[in-house]
Amino acid sequence: MSVQATAGPHSPPPPPPPDDFTSLVSHAKKHGINLVVPGPEAPLVAGICSYFQAVGIRCFGPSRAAARMEGSKAHAKEFMQRHGIPTASFRNLADYDEARRYLDGVGHRVVIKADGLAAGKGVVIPQAKDEAQKALKAIMLDRQFGTAGDEVVIEEFLEGEELSVLTFSDGYTIKSLPPAQDHKRIFDGDTGPNTGGMGCYAPTKVASMELMAEINRTILQPTIDCMRREGTPFVGLLFTGLMITPSGPKVIEYNVRFGDPEIQTLLPLLSKDTDLARVMLACTEHWLDGVELKVEPKFSATVVASAEGYPGAYVKHRPMRFDPVPKDTYIFHAGTELDKNKKLVTVGGRVIAATATAATLEEAVAKAYRGIKTVHFEGMHYRTDIAHRALKATTITTRGGMVALSPFQN
């Protein structure tokens, strides 16, 4: 059961709205649904899983308390600090004047994060101190992100390559999908404002086997174990955003659900004999150690197309048309719906994505671009450099072993 759906060309009648938990439970009971997989973060943070569990329906996702790892960045940072999980140095601040004074005294680059949910846009990476002060005012005084900005996290700016690891957990055992790399900035060359994600590829050359072993040992398993010991066991999919720094991997953020566009990129890599529903059921029933998560030895790439104006105010209701889709290419609808004339139109900021797999990363990327070019609407925008760093990567040494990293942009 999906608790959020867009009306693609062949969509069934949608279920109730994702914030009407009581109606969703009735819908699930009426249709004999026994495993629910919430997609968005807001229902998980609001505690949707407990509603289904109360009537005996399995729900693949964390409890309300466990979902605070995404719902409050300040909470997540304090958790990491308590348990020695490597992350950037930080201060959590709920008073604007105190935060402003703290910024004045900081002698290094910082990242400013709204504490609460902000649709993936609540992070600002200022280039200078005056820009940081403007961002702080916009978040805390001008309410750019509403109540999500009641508190902010101000943390050190980490340099390195970003890495996303999506991990299934039953509260004890962890099983991760291949490491992926997202592209957050709206424009080529990793420029412009942050978005929810403009493209992705996997597996990434950023992570060696040695580095992944270190991430499991120092970050992923300790996170799951410490959450359980604190009385908030994590069941579901833990998305860990990491920065691979010269001193080792550090956590940027936790999300408590499938990442977008990471999951579109990763699921096509699953082997044909891997039953995703069984994996999720095993998480809810605490026998994840009894299932295998197998992936094919190939690459996957995703290119996201956005609406004109995104990630700011964007244009809606642009008519869409499609050419035939190439073989081994998937088109994922996101911000689309059927209008009153049953014609497909744009309604979201990130409208649609194309994903393709191949034996090499170069071919997977090329096929994904051929796929996105079959989609047409006025004002359509997509990045033309997905996986650009991996395709011209060099090798450096970090504490975790040999890791393929690309040079920084000049």
10-residue stretch averages of pLDDT, the chain, 410 residues long: 46 76 96 95 97 98 98 99 98 98 93 93 91 97 97 97 97 97 95 92 91 97 99 98 96 96 97 97 98 96 98 96 94 96 97 98 98 98 96 50 33
- What fold does the segment set 89-156 form as a domain? Dna Ligase; domain 1 (3.30.1490)
CA atoms within 13 A on the CB side of 14: 13
Distance of alpha carbon 333 from alpha carbon 353, whole angstroms: 7
For residue 45, give Cα distances in angstroms to 15, 20, 79, 346, 350.
20, 14, 17, 27, 22
Which of 200, 335, 327 is CA-nearest to residue 258? 200
Taking residue 401's Cβ as centre, other Cβ atoms within 10 Å add up to: 14
Output the pLDDT for position 407. Answer: 29
Which of 332, 333, 305, 336 is CA-nearest to residue 319? 336
Rg of the chain on CA atoms, in Å: 21
Output the pLDDT for position 328. Answer: 86
Pick the CATH number of 161-298 from 3.40.50.720, 3.40.190.10, 3.30.470.20, 3.40.50.2300: 3.30.470.20
Superfamily of chain region 300-389: Phosphoribosylglycinamide synthetase, C-terminal domain (3.90.600.10)
Domain ranges of the chain: 89-156, 161-298, 300-389
